[in-house]
Amino acid sequence: MKAEGLKVSNEGVNGIKGYKFAGVSCGIKKSGREDLALIYSEVPAAAAGVFTTNKSKAAPVLVDLENIKSAVTRAVVINSGNANACTGKKGMENAREMVELTAGLLKADKSEVLVSSTGIIGVQLPMEKVRAGIEKAVAGLAPDGGDAAARGIMTTDTREKKVTVKVDLSTGEVTVGAIAKGSGMIHPNMATMLCFMLTDAAVEKHLLQEILKETVDDTFNMISVDGDTSTNDMVIALANGTAGNEKITEKDGDYDKLSAAFKAAAEAMAVEIVRDGEGATKLLKACVINAPTKQDARTGAKAIVSSSLVKAAFFGEDANWGRVLCALGYSGADFDPGSVDMYFSSQKGAIKLVEKGEGLVFDEAKAAEILGETDIEILVDLNCGKFSATAWGCDLSYDYVKINGSYRT
């Protein structure tokens, strides 16, 4: 959903009222880059969360599923380079220790701290390093520490992912900022991705949860890099009310505006995750329109961007529309193949490839020019309803195999 009056920039989370941040290196990563981040609300905040659907949930996810129930949240501590997943009883103890140590240093209750990890699965956290990192992060908290925090959550990401959205509510301007990580193990129904969304708006906790769930459904659950759903992914939202707006307590106009700001921020992060997909050379945007139901549109769009054959065709800049129609056909979406129209487009123009389910004779040179761009849209008109959905994906390149063939070592 787009809304008028949104001011979007790539400033990130720096300067959002009432928050401080830190990103430090504590030696988890061999590279020496930042590998521990801390987000802290100076005043009590409401929190909401959406977590991985993978049954093999990492220890931090299990801890957060309990702590997210707290009426108040003050901080999120995140490490990268080690997922603390499939680590048994010791892994749970380590996740809880990260929470307890952070809470103690910040003089908060342990129920008011969330924890997140990302990186290699099946390896115990080096807790001596983590403890020192948490102490260093707490000491270094600052309102302008958001970029360092964004770097501290990265694994195979090639760059920071950050966004800021400002919107005017009826009682004043509020800000939504986000930092995210994600590059591989990305697939709908959440992927290997972490996103932390912060706002200075005042909103009831249960309404913040509804905003976040709707946001994730339309953004992070509509992306795919490689078809793998991680053990660790989560999206956490904090709202601390420091903007001074009248608290949102019902689904009114202010609720809709705040929801639009969240969706704009999340869409920006979702697109950046896909654009930075491991080995990716192209961003694919699949739009399915005129479907019988919203679910049919979503199902079809996700199948297109998740298909390895579709992704490989776009890497090769091959206008192989049959692979798109094939992915739609097995997706489970309800449609009449004999009614489908299809177009590919980019900055170089658009070309119609299919009309009423049959391939058209098209200009191969024009198609090659269109597919030579980095951002490509696949438009599929089902002509059998009024609902639409968009999904984002990337191509499948040789480098994806190279990156993941030696990820652990």
Whether pTM > 0.85 for this model: the answer is yes
Q: Which residue has the tokens 């040179």?
A: 365
- Spatial distance between the Cα atoms of 112 and 265, rounded to a whole number of angstroms: 25
79 or 191: which leads in pLDDT: 79
In the predicted structure, residue 261 carries a pLDDT above the cut 60: yes
Q: Which residue has the tokens 């192989």?
A: 320
301 or 184: which leads in pLDDT: 301
Q: Which two tokens stand for residue 170?
A: 């009826």
Q: Which two tokens stand for residue 192?
A: 């290997």
Same fold flag, 7-275 and 283-405 = no
Q: Which two tokens stand for residue 390?
A: 């968009």
Within 10 angstroms of residue 227's Cβ, the number of other Cβ atoms is 17
pLDDT given for residue 190 in this prediction: 43
- Spatial distance between the Cα atoms of 119 and 98, rounded to a whole number of angstroms: 16
Mean pLDDT estimate for the chain: 92
pLDDT given for residue 406 in this prediction: 65
Going across the sheet that includes 358-359, the strands are 223-224, 387-394, 283-291, 375-381, 341-346, 349-355, 358-359
Cβ contact 346:373 at 8 Å: yes
133 or 191: which leads in pLDDT: 133
- Spatial distance between the Cα atoms of 222 and 210, rounded to a whole number of angstroms: 18
pLDDT given for residue 156 in this prediction: 78
Q: Which residue has the tokens 């609720």?
A: 255
Q: What is the mean pLDDT of residues 100-114?
A: 98
DSSP labels for 315-333? HTT---HHHHHHHHHHH--
pLDDT confidence band for 404 (50 / 70 / 90): low
Cβ contact 182:192 at 8 Å: yes
Q: Which residue has the tokens 């976040």?
A: 212
- Spatial distance between the Cα atoms of 303 and 323, rounded to a whole number of angstroms: 11
Cβ contact 342:300 at 8 Å: no
Of 137, 156, 134, 157, nearest to 148 by C-alpha is: 137
- Spatial distance between the Cα atoms of 280 and 375, rounded to a whole number of angstroms: 11
Residue 371 backbone zone (phi > 0: left; psi -120 to 50: alpha; other: beta)? alpha
pLDDT given for residue 203 in this prediction: 98
* % of the chain at pLDDT higher than 90: 81
Cβ contact 394:275 at 8 Å: yes
In the predicted structure, residue 183 carries a pLDDT above the cut 70: no
Name the residues annotated as catalytic.
192
CATH T-level assignment (fold) for domain 283-405: Ubiquitin-like (UB roll) (3.10.20)
Q: What is the mean pLDDT of residues 62-67?
A: 97
pLDDT given for residue 409 in this prediction: 52
CATH T-level assignment (fold) for domain 7-275: L-amino peptidase D-ALA esterase/amidase (3.60.70)
Q: Tens of pLDDT along 268-322? A: 999 998 888 767 889 999 999 999 999 999 999 999 999 989 999 999 999 999 9
pLDDT confidence band for 186 (50 / 70 / 90): very low
- Spatial distance between the Cα atoms of 76 and 78, rounded to a whole number of angstroms: 6
Q: So where are the chain's domains?
A: 7-275, 283-405
Q: Which two tokens stand for residue 89?
A: 């009883």
pLDDT given for residue 403 in this prediction: 62
Relative orientation angle of helices 253-275 and 205-218, to the nearest 10 degrees: 40
In the predicted structure, residue 1 carries a pLDDT above the cut 50: no
In the predicted structure, residue 230 carries a pLDDT above the cut 80: no
In order of 50, 87, 284, 369, the CA distances from 394 in angstroms are 24, 32, 5, 18
Cβ contact 61:190 at 8 Å: no
Q: Tens of pLDDT along 370-386? A: 999 999 999 999 999 99
